[in-house]
């Protein structure tokens, strides 16, 4: 899909369920819209990888909900592996990235698709793709549910993007704040976002 056709989401006024209203300000992307867009991404990827076997490398932990929905829209032979990318800094500081978990699968000569929840400064995806490229895959592409281009620090773009979102700290559908809110069935804007410094 050309970048201009990727759905752009604006912060609106749809209130979340009362149970989370103290912490979540608004619903940014509701469950139906997520379902429809993930199915579209699945169709895009299915046609791109038709006739090829895929290794999906998902970044823990924020991708788990998106990943579970996405791979069920991929009627392709695929294998799944995980990477855990953590920051040496605090939760509000990007710090230095380190990979806590090595791949189990050999990706040499294979078609690799990296799946992440959100592309923000771009440091995570840059570090992961640089590392994976060194393993000589046959091809390496990236797919993110959300793209927050306003905060980009690395010049990197994902090959497949679910939604372009504004610069707001989002939770739900796998994304967390302090490990909470991952279970929300929608993507919402956090009421008191962490103060983030980069570098």
Active site residues: 120
Number of residues that bind ligand XMP (CB under 6 A): 18
Whole-number minimum distance, CB 50 to ligand XMP, in Å? 28
Establish if 171 lies at the interface with ligand XMP (CB under 6 A): yes
Chosen residue from 83, 119, 128, 143 binding ligand XMP by CB under 6 A:
119
State both tokens at 4. Answer: 């201009």
Establish if 122 lies at the interface with ligand XMP (CB under 6 A): yes
Measured from the CB atom, the residue of 14 and 153 that comes closer to ligand XMP is 153
State both tokens at 53. Answer: 């076997």
DSSP string, 130-171: HHHHTT--SEEEEEEEEE-GGG--S----SEEEEE--S--EE
State both tokens at 166. Answer: 């504004």
Measured from the CB atom, the residue of 45 and 171 that comes closer to ligand XMP is 171
Burial of 2 from C-beta contacts in 10 A (0-12 / 13-18 / 19+): exposed
Establish if 123 lies at the interface with ligand XMP (CB under 6 A): yes
Binding stretches for ligand XMP (CB under 6 A): 59, 62, 116-125, 169-171, 175-177
């Amino acid at each position: 899909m050309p970048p201009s056709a990727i759905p752009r989401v604006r912060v609106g006024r749809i209130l979340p369920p009362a149970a989370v209203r103290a912490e979540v300000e608004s619903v940014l992307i509701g469950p139906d819209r997520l379902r429809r867009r993930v199915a579209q991404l699945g169709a895009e990827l299915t046609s791109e990888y038709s006739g090829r076997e895929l290794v999906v490398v998902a970044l823990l932990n924020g991708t788990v909900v998106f990943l579970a929905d996405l791979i069920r829209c991929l009627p392709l032979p695929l294998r799944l592996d995980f990477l855990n990318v953590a920051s040496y800094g605090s939760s509000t500081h990007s710090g230095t990235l380190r990979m806590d978990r090595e791949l189990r699968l050999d990706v040499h000569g294979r078609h690799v698709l990296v799946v992440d929840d959100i592309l923000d400064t771009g440091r995570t995806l840059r570090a992961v793709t640089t590392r994976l490229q060194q393993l000589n895959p046959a091809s390496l592409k990236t797919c993110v549910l959300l793209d927050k281009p306003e905060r980009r620090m690395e010049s990197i773009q994902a090959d497949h993007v679910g939604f372009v979102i504004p610069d707001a700290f989002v939770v739900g559908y796998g994304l967390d704040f302090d490990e909470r809110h991952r279970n929300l069935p929608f993507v919402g804007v956090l009421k008191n976002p962490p103060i983030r410094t980069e570098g």
